[in-house]
Amino acid sequence: MTSEISKGDAALDNKDYVLAIAHFSKALLSTQAPTWLLKRATAYHRLGQFEHALADANSAVLVALGRGKRELIADAYFRRGIVLHGMKQYGNSRMCFHWTRQYNEKLNGLSMWIAKVTADYDAAGGDEAECNAVTIKEVPDKIEPLPSSSTLVLNGEEISSPMTISAGKKVMDSTTTSTSNVRHEWYQSQNAVTVEILAKNIPIGTTDIKIMKTSLEVSFPIGTSQQTYSLHINPLFAEIDSTKSTFRVATHKIEVILQKSKYGLKWSALEATKSQNVSVSSEATMIPPLDVMCDKSSSKPPVYPTSSKSGPKNWDTLVQDENDDDNDGPDAFFKTLYKNADPDTKRAMMKSFQESNGTSLSTQWSDVSSRTFETVPPQGVEAKKWGD
């Protein structure tokens, strides 16, 4: 369908709005994508077909709210406001721009349109003017499909209007789900807590989700049972950043992502207990970063093969087990050197010392790794093999 969208974009750029609508309509038969609905709304608007443009903008609002993406929601309200301005409904247009700003106050062009609709609002007579009345709802009740007379033909193929999206009626089967079949679970990362509500046939468009600094509220009707599922968590275990938190609604799951105000804070529960203050102290448990979650105390030093009957030696253990009285002995310097050395230096010391039977000691692994050390006894001493 991306090819249809590309063709629609090209037609829109060439001001061939009828062709653009045909391509966007064909793409929308497979997927009700908010961005595609907004593209078609733009084409309808430029043709002066405001009712069709408003229907697509309202559909985009519902789908975007269902997906829980703030950018898409802002774009949908923005287009809705522009269309309503073209219909000279300045009060409704201004309200849509207000909702837009709640989701993305930095949206490109928003400030200009707010200034424009404010000027037109005042010029039309202010609060007393009929065209300035606010008659719309934040979530549209029902989106009517296009009339059959608006059916389009593209390359000899008839393109019917997309399915109706309704906020009051779900488009799904009537399988009954009870509150007992709904469950929720949660998990967390260093920067967010994710709450998942699992149910069958969640009616997209009728969910009520409120994310606040210290609380979360989710409710939606369940099937045909006339029951309502509600999840109220107040107060949350810790404060969240509601402006960066998001949600997504699907027919089988509602996913709410709560952005933690305090990075790395580990939540032991979703809801704070009565004895717990919502503003958690700095001594609260923090989730450690990945690089410190490994138990470094269990790491073992490198061990090399040896001909010693007692097996390979752990030099770290030998050094730690030495008594403090030995610190002044002749080997104290070498013990300290080994203890404070890096892994390559330790490997060089062990290899050179073992291969030379204790007659040589080197700390340069670049030199030690490529050669074998011979036994070089002190002057006046003869080296003999074992058993001689």
Same domain, 54 and 202: no
3-state secondary structure 298-359: HCCCCCCCCCCCCCCCCHHHHHHHCCHHHHHCCCHHHHHHHHCCCHHHHHHHHHHHHHCCCC
Among 65-74, 87-96, 184-193, 274-283, name the one with the lowest average pLDDT: 274-283
Residue 378 forms part of a structural domain: no
The DSSP annotation for 215-245 comes to: -EEEEEEETTTTEEEEEEE-SBSS-EEEEEE
Fill in the amino acid letter for 6: S
Q: Where are the beta strands (DSSP E) in the chain?
A: 152-154, 157-159, 183-188, 192-198, 208-211, 216-222, 227-233, 240-249, 253-260
Same domain, 174 and 155: no
Residue 344 forms part of a structural domain: yes
The residue range of the domain holding 286 is 170-290
Same domain, 278 and 305: no
Residue 78 forms part of a structural domain: yes
Of the candidates 139, 159, 179, which is a domain's last residue?
159
Same domain, 18 and 145: yes
DSSP 66: H
Task: Give the pLDDT band of residue 301 (cuts 50, 70, 90).
Answer: low
Greatest Cα pair distance, the chain, in angstroms, is 118
Q: How many CA atoms lie within 13 A of 354 on its CB side?
A: 19
- What's the pLDDT tens digit per position in 361-379? 777 777 778 888 777 776 6
Residue appearing with tokens 């043709």:
47
pTM of the model: 0.43
Of 54 and 316, the structure prediction assigns the larger pLDDT to 54
Burial of 183 (0-12, 13-18, 19+ CB in 10 A): exposed
pLDDT at 180: 65
Whether the pLDDT of residue 147 is over 60: the answer is no
Residue 86 forms part of a structural domain: yes
- Average pLDDT, integer, range 227-238: 90
Residue 386 forms part of a structural domain: no
Among 23-27, 83-87, 181-185, 315-319, name the one with the lowest average pLDDT: 315-319
Count of domains observed in the chain: 3
DSSP 288: P
Same domain, 249 and 184: yes
> Per the structure block, which two tokens stand in for 292?
């410190």
Same domain, 140 and 275: no
Same domain, 69 and 182: no
Residue 137 forms part of a structural domain: yes
Same domain, 20 and 134: yes
Helical packing angle, 90-103 and 110-123, nearest 10°: 150
pLDDT at 309: 54
Residue 188 forms part of a structural domain: yes
Same domain, 283 and 182: yes
Same domain, 179 and 285: yes
Residues paired with residue 158 on neighbouring β-strands, in sequence order: 153
CATH for 29: 1.25.40.10
Residue 15 forms part of a structural domain: yes
Same domain, 101 and 14: yes
Q: Which of 38-52, 193-207, 359-373 has the highest mean pLDDT?
A: 38-52
